[in-house]
Structure 1
Amino acid sequence: MKKIYIGTSWKMNKTLAEALLFCEQLKTFYPENLKSHIQPFVIPPFTCVRDVTDYINNHQINCLTGVQNMHFAQSGPFTGEISANMVADTGATIVEMGHSERREYFAETDSFVNKKVHAALNYNLTPLICIGDSAQEKSWGVSVETVVKQMKIALFGIDKNQVTKVIIAYEPIWAIGEQGVPATPDEAEYIHTKLRSALIELYDIDTANQVILLYGGSVNLENSPLFINQPNIDGLFIGRSAWQAKDFCTILSAINQQS
């Protein structure tokens, strides 16, 4: 059975003490009998990644960890950046890249994302590629063209054996943040269907169906089961609704009951 990925990125939140408290509470509230095809993951700030990963592994909690950004170079004069081998050294396995905030505030381009995808795969890491349309692009009716272009450039030079190790997260910019309005399940499914079709054109139907497509953007306890019910949504990338371990576990339980 195809895995359902349910995860959260903490962005620039949580000290080490707060991150370890999350881990302790995750252990306490973790759903009993969570089905094996449900794969939780958390992406802390880099200062906490190793400690969070060690805690989760030492307590045998089924939860992957990742980092929020990574440079594509192995090493060099890139002050403040981290490389793929540094990520691997922490024990984390997922690399978030291309988030709309990275694109807006740090001028991250599609071609940069593509280089990061290659670098991550070279170290057996899982690229989690974020793509999304703005409110203006949505109003212009070019949402599909926008996100398909972002995905195609991110996957340039990635063969069919590699692409099945990639996760794509559709996160409409207009749905992100405190003021975000979530896409309806039908809206999200429509975009995911177009992404899946583009993957079929790039590769083949069997390969395309193996690629994990996540939805993110104002996901919460109430709407998460509705998104998961959609045939082309393979998981959720959740924001502040999952920043507390008890809330995260409550969402996991809700999805566990119906999947």
Structure 2
Amino acid sequence: MSRKYLIAGNWKMNKTPADGADLAKEIASFVSKDESVEVVVCPTAVALDRVSQVIEDSAVKLGAQNLYPKASGAYTGEISAEMLRAVFAKYVILGHSERREYFAETDAFVNEKVKFALESNLIPILCIGETLEQREADETLEVNKTQLLGGMEGVSAEDAAKVVIAYEPVWAIGTGKTATPEMAQEVHAAIRSVLAEKYGSSVAEKIRILYGGSMKPANADDLLAQKDIDGGLIGGAALEAKSFCDLIESARKAD
């Protein structure tokens, strides 16, 4: 497969700067310089600088959990792309279901962020996914298509190839429930098909699609063996070095 596996840890609202630095140090010691798997850690905003310093000489890359789509200004509590670049962040998670649910982020607002991140030389990890109610109503593919096209509105084919998509069934986030490998693959394949319709198959084949619903060492091998699953956006299992490194190892084996 030409797409490089990506294992990204979303630490959410966990880890002080000191705790985050310790965790990042353990992960960095496990990741080789010529890593066949791309590894990203996404700490809280206050831990970004400390973690950045810890991973500076390693192959681990830094990601943020959010940004505001303006260069600067009176946006209390927000963080800008320039601030992220200043601590050498390369990736930024956008449109996570928790942002959509708790902070009422719409597809249009997420789209603003995606375009601003790309303009700012940051790689968006665009999250999409259905709720349990939507899955039970057989709306999974339509919901994901709507969120995907909404988030990518106005993004050129050249820029689209840089974006990472994370499929996160909302009902499987932090619940311990996981889509079966077959269920996950069905949605990943449908996402790639939508991308192919919009951008052409050659661009769609370059775009990495991560699974983001309770991937852990016990199920990672089977999920990563699927044709259209190119890694994971990891929540709970990213908060402990051993489990996160086990997931990196699973991606190495799948490569």
Q: TM-score normalised to the size of structure 2?
A: 0.96
| Paired residues of 1:126 and 1:167 also in contact (CA < 8 A) | yes
Percent same amino acid among aligned pairs?
Answer: 38
- Indicate the residue corresponding to 1:126 in structure 2: 123
2:82 counterpart of 1:85: yes
2:28 counterpart of 1:24: no
| Paired residues of 2:28 and 2:60 also in contact (CA < 8 A) | no
Offset at residue 6 of structure 1 (A)? 0.6
| Paired residues of 1:215 and 1:236 also in contact (CA < 8 A) | yes
What code does the residue aligned with 2:207 have?
V
Tell me the SS of whatever aligns to 2:127: strand
- 1:245 paired residue among 233, 241, 245: 241
What is the CA deviation profile of residues 169-211 of structure 1, one whole-angstrom value per residue up to 9, with x for unaligned ones? Answer: 000000001x241000000000011100100110100001001
Range moving further from structure 2, 68-77 or 143-152: 68-77
Change (3 A) 1:31 1:116: closer
Which runs of 5 or more structure 1 residues have no equivalent in the other structure? none
Q: TM-score normalised to the size of structure 1?
A: 0.94
Offset at residue 27 of structure 1 (A)? 3.6
2:209 counterpart of 1:208: no
Change (3 A) 1:95 1:258: closer
Equivalent residues in 2 for 1:175-214, closer than 5 Å: 175-177=172-174, 179-214=175-210
Tell me the SS of whatever aligns to 1:62: coil
Offset at residue 35 of structure 1 (A)? 6.5
Offset at residue 31 of structure 1 (A)? 5.1
- Indicate the residue corresponding to 1:51 in structure 2: 50
| Paired residues of 1:49 and 1:67 also in contact (CA < 8 A) | yes
| Paired residues of 2:93 and 2:124 also in contact (CA < 8 A) | yes
CA distance in 2, matches of 1:25, 1:36: 15
Offset at residue 36 of structure 1 (A)? 3.7
| Paired residues of 2:45 and 2:64 also in contact (CA < 8 A) | yes
Tell me the SS of whatever aligns to 1:214: strand
CA RMSD of aligned residues (A): 1.3
CA distance in 2, matches of 1:31, 1:52: 15
- Indicate the residue corresponding to 1:135 in structure 2: 132
Change (3 A) 1:49 1:241: same
CA distance in 2, matches of 1:74, 1:25: 34
What code does the residue aligned with 1:53 have?
S
- Indicate the residue corresponding to 2:144 in structure 1: 147
Moved over 4 A (4+): none
Aligned length: 254
Tell me the SS of whatever aligns to 1:223: helix
| Paired residues of 1:188 and 1:215 also in contact (CA < 8 A) | yes
